[in-house]
Amino acid sequence: MSQKPESLDGTDGRSESVKALDNAIAKWRVEASSPLLKREYDKGKAFERLCRIFLTYDPVQSMQYEPPVPWEQWAERHNLPKIDTGIDLVAKLRNEDGWCAIQCKFYAKKRTISKAEIDSFLSASGQYISADVSS
């Protein structure tokens, strides 16, 4: 059985923020099985909130993006339909023009994302998100 390689400083090489996120996701997986989150929709919305927190406070991500907002709020601000497009969050790129569409998926650990799901997201992103949308 192979062991994970350690970094030169004796750690497993993961940053503190990655370790914290791993711990938060592990805790969230336990909480997601709570009877209070019975519907998949509720689990998905809760996971979107976790992603917003991560993207807002992670030192690397927060340098790339302004705090993301839910699609419904962003669409309303830009006079776009608030229909379910597959876009969950939208974040303004820091220090440059442009926006980033974000999709949050809370699938089982072994579940993969299909090409059709990716194609659908990219199509929606291209249709609704552009650099020329005013702030």
Whole-angstrom distance, CA of residue 20 vs CA of residue 121? 28
pLDDT at 99 over 90: yes
How distant, in Å, are the alpha carbons of 51, 66, 93, 103, 113 from that of 45?
10, 20, 23, 11, 18
Contact 106, 88 (CB under 8 A): no
Q: Binning pLDDT at 50, 70 and 90, where does residue 32 land?
A: low
Q: Is residue 28 scored above 90 in pLDDT? A: no
Extended strands (E) in 1-135: 69-70, 89-92, 99-102
